[in-house]
């Protein structure tokens, strides 16, 4: 670890805390939860494609451009799915954060 990064921790400085203006609003939490779910869905789609269960068939047919286009398509599909309810992961994240904040 570079000395510049570890120096404040070694000097006993408290870790940075968010400013009061950075308070999480329900809209911010909802967006973060949907983005998290989209990330998970995109990873599932990518794993499916890489395991040979994708839409393009053989790995030999996939060149770099095709792979990039598929990744962008997977990310967009994942975002749309997550924003429309997706797998319900975002709802669980929101509920967990809300319950933890209300303690």
pLDDT at 64 over 70: yes
pLDDT at residue 18 in the model: 52
Q: How far apart are CA 101 and CA 103, in angstroms?
A: 6
pLDDT at 97 over 60: yes
User: Which residue is associated with the tokens 């429309």?
Assistant: 84
pLDDT at 3 over 70: no
pLDDT at residue 32 in the model: 92
Q: Record the pTM.
A: 0.62
pLDDT at residue 65 in the model: 77
Which backbone phi and psi does 51 adopt, to 5 degrees?
-85, 0
Q: Within its chain, how far is the Cα of 70 from the centroid?
A: 18
- List pLDDT tens digits, range 8-60: 444 555 555 554 445 778 899 999 999 999 999 999 888 888 887 555 555 55
pLDDT at residue 86 in the model: 84
């Amino acid at each position: 670890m570079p000395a510049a990064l570890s120096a404040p921790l070694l000097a006993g400085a408290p870790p940075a805390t968010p400013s009061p203006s950075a308070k999480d609003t329900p809209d911010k939490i909802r967006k973060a939860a949907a983005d998290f779910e989209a990330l998970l869905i995109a990873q599932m789609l990518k794993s499916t494609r890489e395991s040979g269960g994708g839409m393009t068939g053989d790995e030999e047919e996939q060149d770099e451009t095709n792979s990039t286009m598929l990744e962008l398509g997977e990310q967009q599909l994942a975002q749309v799915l997550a924003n429309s309810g997706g797998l319900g992961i975002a709802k669980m994240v929101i509920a967990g954060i809300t319950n933890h904040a209300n303690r």
